[in-house]
């Protein structure tokens, strides 16, 4: 074998060796992709597990701001504190400045007309819709309204929550049209999709608040 042939064979082997190294180090190689997948999976699982800890749940997912007002008016009007917190969570996510596209205001998303009526029922002399942005006022009115709806529907939480979202007139109509009993519990039978979703989310959040607090 000539020196030229030896050199050529060595050169080819060297080039193949370099190519093999590049493939092994390439981020698209099977080994590299598997390592990245394992790392990503571990990070995802760690995040999921960490997010389920009570401290993280209370801080980021189910806060309980304005607790003093919620406790005070829940006790005064005989409403489950966790239910009140769940309504606030789903209506405004505890943003006292929240305003909906239809004009509902504040933490418990009260319509000014409804709030004006509530103020008369509470024997308050003057009503100003801007006061609904004040946390204590909004929570007082909202929890009183929840208590009134629970009384109207004989303590049925599902019907009361549905009425909070869709109005008691609609719920009364459904009871009459579909012959619902006082112990109605079939959330899937509620005609309005938005109201069905609202009831489910509030009940789920109430369970979480009960668990966390």
Which one, of 11, 33, 14, lies nearest residue 24 by Cα? 33
Residue of 91, 113, 124, 126 marked active site: 91
CA dist., res. 82 & res. 133, Å (int) = 22
Radius of gyration, CA atoms only, the chain? 30
Per-position b or e across 39-52, b if 16+ CB within 10 A of its CB:
eeeeeeeeeeeeee
CA 73, CA 188: separation in Å to the nearest integer? 31
Query: Across 74-204, where does the E strand assignment appear?
Result: none
Active site residue 91: yes
Query: Residues 123, 128, 134, 135: is their CA dihedral positive or negative?
Result: positive
**Active-site residue set:** 91
């Amino acid at each position: 074998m000539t020196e030229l042939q030896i050199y050529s064979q060595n050169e080819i082997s060297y080039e193949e060796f370099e190519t093999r190294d590049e493939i092994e180090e390439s981020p698209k190689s099977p080994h590299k992709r598997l390592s990245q997948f394992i790392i990503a999976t571990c990070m995802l699982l760690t995040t999921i597990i960490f997010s389920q800890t009570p401290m993280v749940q209370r801080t980021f997912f189910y806060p309980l701001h304005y607790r003093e007002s919620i406790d005070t008016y829940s006790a005064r009007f005989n409403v489950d504190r966790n239910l009140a917190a769940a309504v606030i969570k789903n209506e405004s996510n505890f943003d006292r400045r929240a305003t909906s596209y239809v004009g509902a205001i504040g933490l418990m998303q009260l319509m000014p007309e409804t709030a004006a009526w509530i103020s008369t029922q509470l024997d308050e002399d003057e009503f100003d819709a801007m006061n609904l942005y004040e946390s204590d006022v909004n929570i007082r009115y909202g929890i009183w309204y929840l208590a009134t709806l629970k009384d109207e529907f004989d303590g049925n939480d599902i019907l009361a929550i549905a009425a909070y979202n869709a109005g008691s007139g609609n719920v009364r109509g459904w009871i009459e049209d579909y012959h619902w009993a006082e112990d109605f519990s079939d959330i899937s039978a509620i005609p309005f999709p938005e109201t069905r979703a609202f009831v489910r989310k509030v009940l789920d959040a109430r369970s979480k608040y009960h668990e966390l607090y």
